[in-house]
């Protein structure tokens, strides 16, 4: 095989890849770029540049409150996923017991069951509980947080389990033989060693909760909408660069989180 031919093949793959990756990424680049246009109605070419849309987006209560509600909900959901997921990951990664595969499948199932199906079943479930007991869950904070924790949990378990399986078990034994008790071993050795997995798990849990649309759709209340719901509500009636400004903030946030995660874990392993 000639070198020229190898080069042709390479160029061919590069060209296709540029096109495909461009197709995936360009829309985001456009929305970021156009969020700075001063045009009243979104169109090319730009009439000038402004930061007005960002100010407007900030002034809109739906977006501002939505952002903070999303932030808070996703942070709490991540914390819950951490609390529930860490012990479960230890059992799944370290122990062999009957039913382990089944338990693993069940814990991963929130990732597998379609968002709309999971969301609508939770919605009906909450309402039926409300009929029976009078507790209002749908549209309340706890209901929303529960749904988001459900989104976050499998990501946490998946990434923490992976890093636990990759850990050299004699490191813990070394600590034991040096005089550390089980708790000391856990906090001084195990946790620091799997820290990258925990961080990656937390970030994926957070991001996937933050961007959730399908489950939240059923569970937001009249004056408690998450950022994603606020976005599509706004899109129903308007289309201007306020959307672009909000989108840009979200793109910046998520890119940043991915860059941070990348420092700790191989990103492709999460999928």
Should residue 166 be labelled a site residue for another protein when binding is judged by CB under 8 A?
no
Should residue 146 be labelled a site residue for another protein when binding is judged by CB under 8 A?
yes
Region from 50-58, 71-79, 158-166, 180-188 binding another protein, contact rule CB under 8 A = 180-188
Shortest distance in whole angstroms from residue 104 CB to another protein: 9
Binding mask 52-81 for another protein (x = CB under 8 A): ------------------------------
Q: Compute the distance between CA of residue 85 and CA of residue 228 in angstroms, rounded to an integer.
A: 26
Angstrom CA distances, 66 to 108, 177, 271, stand at 28, 52, 28
What are the beta bridge partners of residue 113?
none
Region from 48-56, 57-65, 158-166, 168-176 binding another protein, contact rule CB under 8 A = 168-176
Q: Compute the distance between CA of residue 236 and CA of residue 164 in angstroms, rounded to an integer.
A: 45
In this structure, the number of other CB atoms found within 10 A of the CB of residue 101 comes to: 9
Region from 17-25, 54-62, 71-79, 158-166 binding another protein, contact rule CB under 8 A = 17-25
Q: Compute the distance between CA of residue 253 and CA of residue 52 in angstroms, rounded to an integer.
A: 20
Should residue 193 be labelled a site residue for another protein when binding is judged by CB under 8 A?
yes
Should residue 44 be labelled a site residue for another protein when binding is judged by CB under 8 A?
yes
- 3-class SS of residue 45: coil
- 3-class SS of residue 141: helix
Give the one residue of 53, 160, 244, 264 binding another protein; rule: CB under 8 A: 244
Q: Tell me 268's DSSP state.
A: G
Shortest distance in whole angstroms from residue 129 CB to another protein: 10
């Amino acid at each position: 095989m000639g070198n020229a031919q190898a080069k042709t093949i390479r160029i061919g793959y590069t060209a296709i890849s540029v096109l495909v990756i461009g197709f995936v990424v360009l829309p985001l680049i456009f929305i970021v770029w156009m969020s700075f246009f001063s045009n009243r109605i979104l169109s090319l070419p730009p009439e000038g540049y402004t930061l007005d849309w960002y100010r407007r987006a900030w002034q809109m209560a739906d977006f501002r409150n939505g952002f903070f509600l999303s932030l808070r909900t996703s942070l709490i959901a991540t914390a819950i996923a951490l609390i529930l997921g860490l012990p479960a990951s230890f059992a799944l990664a370290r122990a062999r017991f009957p039913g382990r595969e089944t338990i693993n499948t069940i814990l991963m199932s929130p990732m597998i069951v379609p968002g709309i199906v999971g969301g609508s079943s939770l919605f009906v479930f909450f309402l039926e509980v409300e009929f029976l007991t009078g507790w209002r869950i749908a549209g309340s904070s706890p209901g929303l947080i529960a749904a988001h924790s459900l989104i976050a949990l499998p990501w946490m378990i998946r990434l923490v389990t992976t890093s636990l399986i990759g850990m050299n078990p004699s490191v813990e034994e070394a600590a034991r033989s040096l005089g550390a008790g089980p708790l000391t071993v856990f906090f001084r050795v195990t946790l620091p060693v799997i820290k990258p997995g925990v961080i990656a798990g937390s970030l994926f849990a957070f991001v996937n909760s933050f961007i959730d649309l399908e489950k939240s759709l059923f569970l937001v209340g009249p004056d408690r909408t998450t950022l994603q719901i606020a976005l599509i509500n706004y899109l129903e009636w308007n289309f201007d660069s306020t959307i672009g400004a909000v989108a840009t903030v979200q793109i910046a946030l998520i890119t940043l989180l991915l860059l941070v995660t990348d420092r700790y874990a191989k990103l492709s392993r999460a999928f």
